[in-house]
Structure 1
Amino acid sequence: MNKNSTRAWWALTPLALSLALAGCGGNSNNNAQNNAALVAAIAAINAANQPTPTTPPAADNGCQIPSSGTSVVVGSGDPGDPAAPEPASGYVPGHKLVYAKNYMVVANHPLATRAGCDVLKAGGSAVDAAVAVQAVLGLVEPQSSGLGGGAFMLHYDAATKKVQAYDGRETAPAAATENYLRWIDDTNDQTAPKPGGARASGRSIGTPGAVRMLDIAYQDHGKLPWKDLFSYGITLASDGFLIGGRMASAIAGSASSLKRDADATAYFFNADGTPKALGTKLTNPAYARTLNTIATQGANAFYTGDIAQGIVDKIGITTAASDGSAITPGKTTLADLATYKAKRRDPVCSTYREYYICSMSPPSSGGIAVVATLGILETFNLGLYKPTAIDLEGGRPSVMGVHLVSEAERLAYADRDKYVADTDFVPLPGGSPAMLIDKSYLQGRASLISLTKSMNLAKAGDRGDVPLGIDKTEEHGTTHFTVVDKQGNVVVMTTTVEGSMGSFHMTQGFLLNNQLTDFALNPIDTSVTPNVKFANRVAPGKRPRSTMAPTLVFKKNADGSMGEFVMGTGSPGGGTIIQYVVKTLVGALDWGLDAQQATSLVDFGATNTPPPTPPGATYSLTNVGGEHPAIDTSNSGNNDPLIAGLRALGHTVNLGAQSSGVSTIIRTNVGGKPALTGGADPRREGIVLGDTFTP
């Protein structure tokens, strides 16, 4: 009986009440009459319990896309469905800005976007949607993310105006030593793990953190029942989905490595050994069972019991299914999983012009580097160097705009390379990010930038003697999504299995990560005299440094404090994540691009890492995404004014295709009405969905 039931009983007429009581009397001579009276009385009670009729709310037609004048449900298979698989492409032009009134999701796969949007439409919170999105992403883009990986999240609570960071980064097992990735055994076998190093061995696999991180975020901000958030993922795994272009390419590209694993072979390959191709319908009953277990028994069921045992067993395999060759096992135990803890952390926040920026804290270096880059750029009037010929794709970046951003990034990367690691093990200079993002310090760093010549390779600033060395891991197994719910709460979450297809070890329907390769392979920095130990070396329970940078932007109040939400963004991309996030922020905040234009804009920037060849190179490459239609890569780029201009300033330009996956939401006003606007990266398969907006 609801909270109005007592009032409803006394609202009955005396006749109805007497009939109800008589019906409960059980007189055998009048059962039919009494039962009829009881039914009538109950109907009267139910009617009395109904709320006073009001004007019905307007229909919510969200989570659909227009196609030829009709609405298409994502995943329906109808004409116009964006979930219809297409070949992987470096860049698909023509993405248009999407508008929504109250809620929006941007993810890197249409089916994951739908999962999150459906949850928001049902009244779920941004964190509820994040759980649903991740459950589907682990199925439809296993090459990038999954239950067997890790994640970082920022959450903005619109009611309390608080930003909370959540750390679901993987950890090294308790039995790991600082040579865990370098040698099979510290004393008896000082050869590299097999096959061919740590990546495809059990040594690369960290204790997964994404599920536990989502669990603690849900405890803080969940709204709908936990079990309901996995429904769409379970349905897709059971009924099947069509393999998309990026997944098909990843399977084919990792075929020999995947075939070492029996579960991966059975799932990703046909009976004749050929990779399952684009458009193949794929079911994953093992994944459905795993999701169902987590849904009904909670996150603990992932870290204990049968699922945990399956993870430990797979990490411990010693021979390849394909040919019986040796695989070096990892040393993860059931205790490592049972004791894993996701962490609530303080975000890294600072101001940038008229905005207030928050990004991810260590063990990710991404947030510090993004905020530091912006702090350096604040010295320059970037508005003078906006792109020209601005169109749906973001226009043509200017030479000076790319130069200044790239130089600022070189300086920021130099500092993060030297000083940032897992702060639970290695403290930052001064014990917090403050020294690395201090305004006066960054202004001094900005003074090192020349307007006429690239510095090529920056040196770290003097913030103390904590050498780390450079993380050169090339990461392809990462994704990002951004969510705003009806209450204005926001989630930006970057999730990863590290390399494409992770460690190639598969268990219970999902791939395990190779995240520990983000640690320094050799614990000793031999490039300096005397030799010192890298702070980003392996240690038991330690989290490897990351570059993930989910980022939130707010208006800056007059006193410098955080105001109203403006923007959420982030991207996959390994060491280049910082570049992708910075170009999106600068595009929107300095150059006035909308959410789609800033997302689509040419990917550019520099990491400050010398290329492997020639040996001893004293420069770092400046990236300019050659996949973008605004860039002319013919004649080695010499016909493109941007490339020629950068080379004239001394930049060594890399025109390789970039693989960002930026997902951006910006709150703005359209026709005097508040609106959400969203952009999905044309370099991946994602889309934007939300509720209906009418200007």
Structure 2
Amino acid sequence: MEEAFICFPSRRSVVYSTHAMVASSQPLACQAGLDILKKGGNSADAAIAIAAALNVTEPASTGIGGDCFCLFYDAKNKKVNALNGSGRSPAKLTLEYVRNTLGINNQNNIPMNNINAATVPGAAAAWVDTINYFGSGKLNLSEILQPAINLAENGFPVSEISAWMWKKGQKDLLMASPNGGDMLINGHAPKTGEIMLMPKLARTFRKLAEKGRDGFYKGEIAQAIVNLVQSKGGVMSLDDLAAHTTSRVDPISIDYKGFTIWECPPNGQGITALMALGILGSLQESGKINDLSKMQHNSVEYLHAIIESLRLAFEDTKYYVCDPEDYHIPVKELLSKKYLAKRAQLFDSTKATVDIEKGSPDNSSDTVYFSVVDDEGNACSYINSNFHGFGTAAIPEECGFTLQSRGASFVLKEGHPNCLKPNKRPYHTIIPSIVTKDGELWLSFGVMGAYMQPQGHVQVFLNMVEHKFNPQVALDAPRIMIEPFCPKDLTSVIYIEDGIGNNNNKDNVDDGDNDDGNNDNVDYDINKNKNDIKKQLENLGHNIVITKEWDRAIFGRGQVIQRIIDENTGIRVWCGGSDPRGDGQVIGW
């Protein structure tokens, strides 16, 4: 019988500090990041220490065998920088090969547990490049990876939700490769609080620390990856691994009521959040809906506007988001006020829109997100993922990590922008975010969780901007999630979290005055009003499913760090929150 999900949820207070702050889904990973900051590292250095420590403590979400994306706010020049650390398909992985090998038609995707879903891992190179491009220069890679190496070699107690995810993936680990036992204890997933050692992963980290990217993409580790993939019918080669590069890219943004929201560009889905916010802005400007700040938080009116804006955005981005090196993506046009206003015209306040089609702009899964800010005012918003659980769950010999399954995001339909091709990056769900105001950092945040991520960005951002919630309350608030890839012959499901629509309490906010801003009085009683909210949304034509217990994992797990200025002294204060749906925490210094 499965253990109940958090029978008595603990109230979390928002965390404040003045020097630096880290927020992640694992306390031990937070400590690794803080250790690096105290040794003189900056937010980029600490982010990589956290990424590696999360690979150790939460491998059912993330790892060096996956991909990552980074946004870095440079306080000196007030510029937001971006890195695309996603990998590409093997050079010999053609559409014809996949169809013939797997016997699937052009409407399907590569199964997540098939080795051909493994794209070249991008994380290792991106970790190295993050430090090279944005790091302090005071610490080398070996020093930065040492906290994670210590955890892997000496052992660590497994946290509650990580243990639950590990158990879910136990069967996959045992079936995917002969090396599944490397990430289990006597053939079983570690239990909550049980000590887990991962010496083979520590060995992989040492190789990376000693030789840089060549320690992963060439030599023993690369050969182990290729041997495993080819033994299971895949076509990845040593040349595929050696040719991998991280891409420095220009972030994309949109303005919303004086704030600028930054996301990584496609092949990531961050543009979905920007489009949804742009549509919401247009709806308010045109008078089609009331100002969101005047609406009751998570009321039917409020949720309907968010749901419809997200649906309109997803209908475009699920088509256009792909590898920009393979297909021209009209990013500028998709984010233009003219086009977003045109999409907003499809909104109907009295009913859900059916049969939404993608627009034609004029041409002119289990993941970890973490945030770090440092004493110099820099911020690193970072996300790393296997895609779904352990990814393919296949472990290269003596390496201690699993290969991701990101290739399952390719479309196997000729002519589609995201159709599988050799040496191509697929549609990516993982997205970090940064918000600036008048050029100054205001927020470093993200919400992990596959297609929930842009939806989480929109909801958490609006919680803070429109309803003045502090970071912790903004994350505590119940969320909704639309099902963006529902077949046309089915009604798209809207999942709503138990307790939604119950707080409606604007007394408990952070207005920048440095009051405690905690969530003492916010009431999310799961038995209040949920049936009323469900019924009213169904009356508008939405297909509603109330979600509770462990199923709440679909709503993602977020981290938020906000920059505020003390009115009396002018001292900068960091203000952070960590999602109660995860094991994480915020640590300030």
Whether the TM-score (by the shorter chain) exceeds 0.5 is yes
Question: What is the DSSP-based 3-state SS (H/G/I as helix, E as strand, rest coil) of the residue aligned with 1:290?
Answer: helix
Identify the match of residue 644 of structure 1 among 530, 535, 551: 535
Query: Corresponding residue for 1:407?
Result: 308
**Identity fraction in percent:** 29
- Against the structure 1 CA distance between its residues 573 and 248, is the aligned structure 2 distance closer, same or farther, given a 3 Å change threshold? same
Structure 1 residue 545 and structure 2 residue 415: aligned?
A: no
Task: Quote the Cα distance in structure 2 between the aligned partners of 1:89 and 1:665.
Answer: 25
1:262 shift after superposition: 5.2
User: Map of 1:567-582 to 2, 5 A cutoff?
Assistant: 567-582=443-458
Residues 270 and 487 (structure 1), Cα distance of their counterparts in 2 relative to 1, 3 Å cut: closer
Structure 2 Cα separation of the partners of residues 406 and 668 of structure 1 = 30
Deviations 1:523-564 (A, max 9, x none): 24xxxxxxxx211111111000112221111114xxxxxx11
1:128 aligned partner, one-letter code: D
Does 1:383 pair with 2:383? no
- SS of alignment partner, residue 404 of structure 2: coil
Secondary structure, aligned partner of 2:431 = coil
RMSD: 2.4
1:23 is matched with which residue? none
Map 1:397-546 → 2, pairs under 5 A: 397-429=298-330, 433-463=331-361, 475=365, 477-507=366-396, 508-520=399-411, 522-524=412-414, 533-546=415-428
Residues in 2 aligned to 1:226 and 1:428: alpha-carbon distance in whole angstroms: 36
* Aligned positions, number: 544
1:281 to 195, 199, 216: 195
Distance 1:124 1:87 in 2: 40
| Structure 1 residues 391-450: Cα deviation after superposition (integer angstroms, max 9, x where no partner) | xxxxxx211111111111111111112222111101113xxx110010122122222212
Distance in 2 separating the partners of 1:89 and 1:537? 41
Q: Deviations over 1:494-529 (max 9, x none)?
A: 111011111010131111111100111x224xxxxx
CA distance in 2, matches of 1:90, 1:543: 42
Between structure 1 and structure 2, the one with the greater Rg is 1
1:622 equivalent in structure 2: 494
Q: Which amino acid aligns with 1:382?
A: L
Task: List per-residue Cα deviations over 1:446-491 (Å, max 9, x = no partner).
Answer: 22212222214422222269xxxxxxxxx2x211011111111111
Q: 1:662 to 1:639 in 2, by over 3 A?
A: closer
Instruction: Tell me by how many angstroms 1:181 deviates.
Output: 4.1
Letter in 2 for 1:435: E
Distance 2:492 2:541 in 1: 11
Match of 1:252 among 156, 167, 171: 167
In the aligned structure 2, how far is the partner of 1:276 from the partner of 1:553?
A: 38
1:184 maps onto 2:101 in alignment: yes
The 5-angstrom pairing of residues 102-501 of structure 1 reads: 102-184=19-101, 190=103, 198-223=111-136, 224-261=139-176, 264-271=179-186, 273-318=187-232, 329-364=233-268, 366-379=269-282, 380=284, 381-387=291-297, 397-429=298-330, 433-463=331-361, 475=365, 477-501=366-390
Q: For 1:300 and 1:106, how far apart are their aligned partners in 2? A: 30
The 1:330–1:401 alpha-carbon spacing in structure 2 relative to 1, beyond 3 Å, is same
Q: Is the 8 A contact 1:633 1:655 kept in 2?
A: no
Task: After TM superposition, list the pairs within 5 Å mapping 1:652-667 onto structure 2.
Answer: 652-656=543-547, 657=552, 658-667=554-563
- Which letter maps to 2:378? N
AA matched with 2:306: V
Shift of 1:248: 2.2
Task: List 4+ stretches of structure 1 deviating above 6 A.
Answer: 631-634
CA distance in 2, matches of 1:414, 1:191: 25
Q: Deviations over 1:33-57 (max 9, x none)?
A: xxxxxxxxxxxxxxxxxxxxxxxxx
Letter aligned with residue 383 of structure 1? S
Q: Is the 8 A contact 1:101 1:675 kept in 2?
A: yes
Partners of 2:7 and 2:164 in 1: CA distance: 12
Gaps in structure 2 of 5+ consecutive residues? 285-290, 503-523
Measure, in 1, the Cα distance between the counterparts of 2:216 and 2:65: 10
